[in-house]
Amino acid sequence: MNPIELDVRNLKITFSTPQGNLTAVNDLSFQLYKGETLALVGESGCGKTVSALSILRLLPEPPAKITNGEIIYSGKNLLTMAPNQLRKIRGEEIAMIFQDPMTSLNPVLTIGEQLSETLLQHKNLNKKEALLQSVQLLGKVELASPEEKLKQYPHQFSGGMRQRVMIAMALACEPKILIADEPTTALDVLIQAQILELLEHLKKESGMSMLLITHDFGVVTEVAERVMVMYAGDEVETGPTNSLLSNPNHPYTKGLISSRPQLGKTRNKDHRLIEIPGNVPHLNQRPSGCTFHPRCNWVMDHCKTQKPHSKNLENNLKFSCHLDPGSL
Amino acid sequence: MTSETSFLKVRDLKKYFSSKETFPAKIPNLVRAVDGISFTLHDGESLGLVGESGSGKSTAARTVLMLETPTSGLVHFKGQNLADLPEPQLRNLRKEMQMIFQDPFSSINPRRKIGEVLQEPFKIHDYKGNTTETISELLNQVGLSPNYANRYPHEMSGGQLQRVGIARAIALNPSLVVADEPVSALDVSVQAQVINLMMDLKEKLEISYLFISHDMGVVEYFCDRVAVMYLGKIVEIASSDEIYKQPGHPYTEALLNSAPGLNIERKKNSAKAHGDIPDPSNPPRGCSFHTRCPIAEKQCKEMEPELKEVGAEHFVACHLK
């Protein structure tokens, strides 16, 4: 396997609220290998975005607080790094694209100004050179007539085009790691397919690693080599995409996969979609034992009191459930 | 009058909006949001309307319900043309046709308790009787406990609140429910809950659905027939099975191929549509899809294709089929 690019160890994040300190991410550890795409999957409220934001220290602190853990990037712990050092890594070595391209671009600045801002910040360029490089970047994300686009404003762009601009901004300094937080959720299917293809292509070209956050297993199959499923702040299952999809070991993973209607599966009238009953628990109502037990169809007595340990299987598979592997 | 064929019949329905550009110049601009669509919804059937944002699905649905006044065309519901109906009669008929909206947090009044929200349909239609009991029953029907009536919308999750939206729609026993992207704002796992609920209600209450979505997977699963819309026109209409197995229009094919799926066998080598949907106020000449079509030929740029029957109950508007 490739060398580790990013190593997250025992990360714990809490939020201080009037109801006390609530744990959003609970003892999370994962590794991102060089050149791979790792997908973080789970419903809203499972801690995916919070974990990703903490890597670049973008969480509002307070109320958020990283109470434990290390995030190691090229030998250094990002969590203890001085702000000015961190600023060099943000955007230059680790970049991020956000879910909603409508709100993450500045509406009163031209595309050119916004793109060259990143370049001016991190590279030793003058304005002219920065604009020249911006043109190349827009060409790289396959936008037509890039020179003209530089002078335009975000409102003149469609959602897909804006997301391309966001990608161009993220890739401006050729980062080693790209964090993509639901990059296609706000887009139409046709545009989603185009953006995923573009990301895949750019990733191959530059050899960067990608941490992709999504709630859609369909998107996962398109781009990710490995998947980590999160539930209520815990890692519940991790493994290579193919084996995880065909043989999920955790009931939550299985639920997420089978609750999505699949194209072309012959539908008979009495076949219902398999649903996961209930909702993700609120942070202040975290269930005892296995946090998933109130929604689990395979729940046993000891699930309610004992938190399952993480089990390692061959082939880099890992899951936390009291059930034996292969029993679903 | 509720013979099978005459439940809901839409013929050549058009809805144009005029948008005045205030800057730089005042040029009246005609947006053909819905440009002559025809379809029939049979009793007890679910018809899906799919397409990208900007293809006119929502406007089509709202115009069918007379929430927008149609520019021209016929909407026959149970034998009456809604477009000609005077307001009081139309209002009476609205009991029969209800709507579920995409985002429950913006379609349900945040300042009212759920019980009050659900009372509204009864008030509007002068229902006399014990509404509290009816509301408890309604909440039960959508899988919520009756004490949710005392909650405010912000105390509920998106999935729960969408159930309230559904309860409000079925309150007056409608025979037609128009659902505009009812699950797109929800998490995948909750989507399944809501889709199952809507399926159950269909059986129990004999509802016909006009179901709008951009997700081919959901539509294929939920609907008996599917109509694909592009820039205000229906480009293909067929049964769900047909559409999936033998898509006739390149746009339908592109939608199917781009759906991120767990079944990869039909992808990869297949052609995809390129670019964005064109501006509806200035649609391309000829076949409106030709700018993005992977197989477009010369005639596509000049002539607009007609909707032709290519198989049993399967219509496609494409020159090359």
- Comparing CB atoms, the residue among A261, A266, A275 nearest residue B217 is A261
pLDDT of residue B2: 41
Q: Which positions in chain A touch B196 (Cβ < 8 Å)? A: 272-273, 275
Closest alpha carbon within chain A to B52 = A188
Mean pLDDT of chain B: 86
A192 contact B CB<8A: yes
Transcribe B227-253 into DSSP letters.
Answer: EEEETTEEEEEEEHHHHHHS--SHHHH
> Hey, how many other C-beta atoms are within 10 angstroms of the C-beta on B284?
15
A326 contact B CB<8A: no
In whole angstroms, how far apart are CA A69 and each of A87, B23, B225? 21, 55, 53
pLDDT of residue B314: 93
Percent of chain B with pLDDT over 70: 92
Q: Which positions in chain A touch B277 (Cβ < 8 Å)? A: 158, 188
Instruction: Give the separation between CA A222 and CA B264, rounded to whole angstroms.
Output: 8
> Hey, how many other C-beta atoms are within 10 angstroms of the C-beta on B301?
14
pLDDT of residue A326: 78
A189 contact B CB<8A: yes
A275 contact B CB<8A: yes
CB contact under 8 A, B263 and A272: no
CB A32 within 8 A of CB A78: no
Question: Letter for the amino acid at B279?
Answer: D
Q: Which positions in chain B touch A217 (Cβ < 8 Å)? A: 188, 262
pLDDT of residue A216: 83
Q: How far is A272 from chain B (nearest CA, A)?
A: 6
pTM for the full predicted model: 0.84
Q: How far is B192 from chain A (nearest CA, A)?
A: 5
Look at residue B191 and tell me whether its pLDDT is greater than 60: yes
A115 contact B CB<8A: no
Helix axis angle, B188-205 relative to B158-170, nearest 10°? 20
Tens digit of pLDDT at every position of chain A (328 positions): 688 889 999 999 998 888 888 888 988 999 999 989 999 998 888 888 889 889 988 888 888 888 889 999 988 898 888 888 888 888 889 999 888 777 888 889 999 898 888 888 888 888 888 888 899 888 888 888 888 888 899 888 887 888 888 888 888 888 999 999 988 887 788 888 888 888 888 888 888 999 999 888 888 888 899 999 999 888 999 999 988 888 899 999 988 888 887 776 655 555 678 888 888 888 888 888 898 999 988 888 888 888 888 888 888 889 999 888 877 7
- Comparing CB atoms, the residue among B190, B261, B276 nearest residue A191 is B276
- Comparing CB atoms, the residue among B193, B261, B273 nearest residue A190 is B273
Instruction: Give the separation between CA A133 and CA A131, rounded to whole angstroms.
Output: 5
Helix axis angle, B188-205 relative to A251-258, nearest 10°? 60
Helical residues (DSSP H) of B25-113, grouped into ranges: 57-64, 87-93, 104-107
Closest alpha carbon within chain B to A43 = B187
CB A101 within 8 A of CB A163: yes
Strand pairing report for B97-100 and B176-180 = parallel
A vs B, Cβ pairs < 8 A, gives: 117
Q: Which positions in chain B touch A193 (Cβ < 8 Å)? A: 257-258, 260, 272
Average pLDDT over residues B190-210: 90
Closest alpha carbon within chain B to A265 = B221
DSSP state letter for A3: P
Q: Which residues pair with B311 in a beta bridge?
A: B314
Q: Which positions in chain B touch A219 (Cβ < 8 Å)? A: 260
pLDDT of residue A100: 78
Which of A145, A200, A260 would best serve as a mutation to test chain B binding (most B beta carbons within 10 A)?
A260
Q: How far is A248 from chain B (nearest CA, A)?
A: 14
CB contact under 8 A, B260 and A261: no
Q: How far is A324 from chain B (nearest CA, A)?
A: 24
A276 contact B CB<8A: yes
Q: Which positions in chain A touch B188 (Cβ < 8 Å)? A: 43, 215-217, 256, 259-260
Closest CA to A210 of A235, A227, A229, A231: A227
Per-residue burial over A139-164, b if 16 or more Cβ lie within 10 Å, else e, is: ebbbbeebeebbeeebeebbbbbbbb
pLDDT in tens, B67-123: 989 999 999 998 888 888 888 889 888 989 999 998 888 899 999 999 999 999 998
pLDDT in tens, B253-297: 888 888 776 455 555 556 677 778 888 778 888 898 999 888 888
- Comparing CB atoms, the residue among B189, B214, B273 nearest residue A255 is B189
CB contact under 8 A, B255 and A190: yes
In whole angstroms, how far apart are CA A295 and each of A21, A29, A140, B82? 24, 24, 45, 46
CB contact under 8 A, A188 and B52: yes
pLDDT of residue A171: 86
A221 contact B CB<8A: yes
Instruction: Give the separation between CA A167 and CA A206, rounded to whole angstroms.
Output: 13
CB A130 within 8 A of CB A79: no
In angstroms, how far is CA B299 from the centroid of its own chain?
A: 31
In angstroms, how far is CA A72 from the centroid of its own chain?
A: 18
A145 contact B CB<8A: no
Q: How far is A121 from chain B (nearest CA, A)?
A: 32
Reported as half-sphere exposure (CB side, CA atoms, 13 A), residue A281 has a value of: 20
Provide the residue count of chain A: 328
> Hey, how many other C-beta atoms are within 10 angstroms of the C-beta on A284?
11
Closest alpha carbon within chain B to A274 = B192
E strand segments, B46-139: 46-50, 72-77, 80-81, 97-100
Which of A182, A275, A280, A292 would best serve as a mutation to test chain B binding (most B beta carbons within 10 A)?
A275
Q: How far is A267 from chain B (nearest CA, A)?
A: 7
Instruction: Give the separation between CA B62 and CA B66, rounded to whole angstroms.
Output: 6
Which of B155, B187, B189 would best serve as a mutation to test chain A binding (most A beta carbons within 10 A)?
B189
pLDDT of residue A177: 92
Q: How far is B273 from chain A (nearest CA, A)?
A: 7
